[in-house]
Amino acid sequence: MTSPIAHLSNAGRLDRMFIGGEWTLPERSTRSAVVDPSTEAPVAEIALGSSADVDTAVAAARRAFADWAVTSPENRARLLDRVHALILERAELFAQAISQEMGAAIGYARSAQVPLAAEHIRVARDNLATYPFLTHRGTTAILREPIGVCGLITPWNWPLYQITAKVGAALAAGCTVVLKPSELSPLSALFFAEVVEDAGIPPGVFNLVNGDGPGVGAALSAHPDVDMISLTGSTRAGVLVTQAAAPTVKRVALELGGKSPNVILPDADLARAVAPGVAAAFRNLGQSCSAPTRMIVPRQHLHEVERLVSEAVSGMVVGDPRSEQSTHGPLANRAQFERVQEMIDVGLAEGARLVCGGPGRPQGLNQGFYVRPTVFSEVHSRMRIAQEEIFGPVLCVIPYDSIDEAVAIANDTIYGLGAHVQGEDLETARAVAARIRSGQVHINYPAWDPNAPFGGYKRSGNGREFGIEGMEEYLEMKSVLGY
């Protein structure tokens, strides 16, 4: 199979944007290296856009909007069906690209990163087919119409998954889009643009401008002809985007950071509660905004939890992401590697008890952004490791003495994105879930549901993605009285 880099290089697309249905050179020739996190070596260069490219892309999206907004839902669903089919056809190419650009273990890229991304397109297609864009309330008609041109800013940790979550919903709603993917993991975005092109999406409906936050993200957020910005990223980035968008009073949807709790209730079966909790915290090597990295456990079971946590971590294989034997690859980039190392040192300095892992790379890995899956116990909420989003494989085990205290610990955070509750008595688990201030709560590790709305309370953001609610973010409401 042709490598992802070779495929894009041979097609001449590493140095191009996708604007108005054409692969075009940027206005200026600034370039950025794509670094393989397993070797720390640059493997390609992409062209970075500028505000001038944003202007061109927004103009193309604005021209395309008038026709796309009035296409029938059936026609939009047919085109999304083609996008979905092409992602599945090219699944291995996407998986290889994601593994190379951000270090996901190839098995995880194949089993999660790509198929879950495809699901967002399928859900958008299916919901579009039955959505009531026109409803009646007496003699008043209520219309839901596409908001317009949408700027979409996506992160490096789930590069394709976050693109499809936004693009699928926006296109289903009848919006046109300008996508700015992370410049750190741009390969899968370029492949997605190829999919859009080959699926027959009309020119200008989808546009891709590679670039960084100051050069492209800020220009997109402030642009007067952009009607909505949707960002997935850090809370700091969300604040900057909101400030840039404020003068034009555009809609802003934000999916930001998290410090998600996993409350293990006193009646939980520890053998079934602990190991899946470790796996959830360390999925994607902990580089997930909703990862449950605070395990809140009954004090009387603390030592048993520590034993089970250690067993779970011992079964993880951190190594070459292209190896079928590796369960986890490296962190995605140098900045994240340094951040995780810093926070492990902070945990030790704060007096948390190290259960496993610790500073440095795993044994035998002397280069690459590899880290040791790390668990701290006897953590309390005043510690930085219990409050700050680390975004790596660092789990905090926090003991409690009562369910009320467990809920208070779960809510003792500026974030409110995801949460987990484990318990044998479902009524008790439901009651605890109802008291946790977060946008999504999982009880007893249910299957992932792409129709479940996802988004945050507090500083984890606003608005919702996934499912019908995700599409509704891209719709305006119009009342027509006397209809």
What digits encode the pLDDT tens for the residues 150-204?
Answer: 999 999 999 999 999 999 999 999 999 999 999 999 999 999 999 999 999 999 9
pLDDT for the residue 77: 98
pLDDT for the residue 85: 98
Nearest-Å Rg of the Cα atoms of the chain is 22
For residue 1, pLDDT over 90 is answered with no
pLDDT band at 84 (very low <50, low <70, confident <90, very high): very high
For residue 474, pLDDT over 80 is answered with yes
**What is the spatial distance between Cα 259 and Cα 276, in angstroms, rounded to a whole number?**
17
What is the mean pLDDT of the segment spanning 252-266? 98
Q: Regarding beta strands 134-137 and 140-146, do their DSSP bridges make them parallel or antiparallel, or are they unpaired?
A: antiparallel
Asked whether the domain spanning 261-449 has the same topology as the one spanning 4-256+461-480, the reply is: no
pLDDT for the residue 244: 97
Q: What 3-state DSSP class applies to 143?
A: strand
Per DSSP, which regions of 210-309 are E strands? 228-232, 251-255, 261-264, 294-298
What value does the mean pLDDT of the chain take?
Answer: 97
Paired with 395 in beta bridges are 375
Paired with 152 in beta bridges are 179, 230
DSSP-assigned letter for residue 273: H
pLDDT for the residue 63: 98
pLDDT for the residue 481: 98
Q: Inter-axis angle of helices 91-102 and 114-130, to 10 degrees?
A: 120
> Helices marked H in 249-332 — which ranges?
270-281, 302-314
What DSSP string describes 95-148? HHHHHHHH---HHHIIIIIHHHHHHHHHHHHHHHHH--SEEEETTEEEEEEE--
What DSSP string describes 362-375? PTT--SSS----EE
CB 13 within 8 A of CB 24: no
**Can you tell me which residue has the tokens 């140095």?**
15
For residue 2, pLDDT over 90 is answered with no
Question: Helices (H) and strands (E) in the chain — how many of each?
Answer: 17, 22
Show the tokens assigned to 368: 């690459």
**What is the spatial distance between Cα 241 and Cα 252, in angstroms, rounded to a whole number?**
8
CATH code for the domain defined by 4-256+461-480: 3.40.605.10
The share of the chain scoring above pLDDT 70, in percent, equals: 100
Q: What 3-state DSSP class applies to 175?
A: coil
Show the tokens assigned to 210: 């590679």
* Spans of all domains in the chain: 4-256+461-480, 261-449
Q: Regarding beta strands 140-146 and 149-153, do their DSSP bridges make them parallel or antiparallel, or are they unpaired?
A: unpaired
The third-level CATH classification (topology) of the domain covering 261-449 is: Aldehyde Dehydrogenase; Chain A, domain 2 (3.40.309)
**What is the spatial distance between Cα 25 and Cα 448, in angstroms, rounded to a whole number?**
40
Instruction: List pLDDT tens digits, range 36-57.
Output: 999 999 999 999 999 999 999 9
What is the mean pLDDT of the segment spanning 232-248? 96
Show the tokens assigned to 39: 């070797």
CB 353 within 8 A of CB 377: yes
Task: Look at phi and psi of residue 362 and say left if phi exceeds 0, alpha if psi is from -120 to 50, else beta.
Answer: beta
φ, ψ at 249 (rounded to 5°) = 50, 40
Please enumerate in sequence order all residues whose Cβ is within 8 A of that of 1, keeping only pairs 6 or more positions apart, or say none: 92, 93, 96
What is the mean pLDDT of the segment spanning 315-342? 98
Q: Regarding beta strands 149-153 and 176-180, do their DSSP bridges make them parallel or antiparallel, or are they unpaired?
A: parallel
Please enumerate in sequence order all residues whose Cβ is within 8 A of that of 273, keeping only pairs 6 or more positions apart, or say none: 264, 422
pLDDT band at 29 (very low <50, low <70, confident <90, very high): confident
Q: What 3-state DSSP class applies to 377?
A: strand
pLDDT for the residue 49: 96
255 labelled catalytic: yes
Q: What 3-state DSSP class applies to 287?
A: coil
pLDDT for the residue 254: 98
**What is the pTM for the complete model shown?**
0.97
What is the mean pLDDT of the segment spanning 392-410? 98
Q: Regarding beta strands 418-422 and 228-232, do their DSSP bridges make them parallel or antiparallel, or are they unpaired?
A: unpaired
Write down the catalytic residue from 101, 183, 255, 465.
255
pLDDT for the residue 28: 85
Show the tokens assigned to 470: 């995700």
**Can you tell me which residue has the tokens 């280069």?**
367
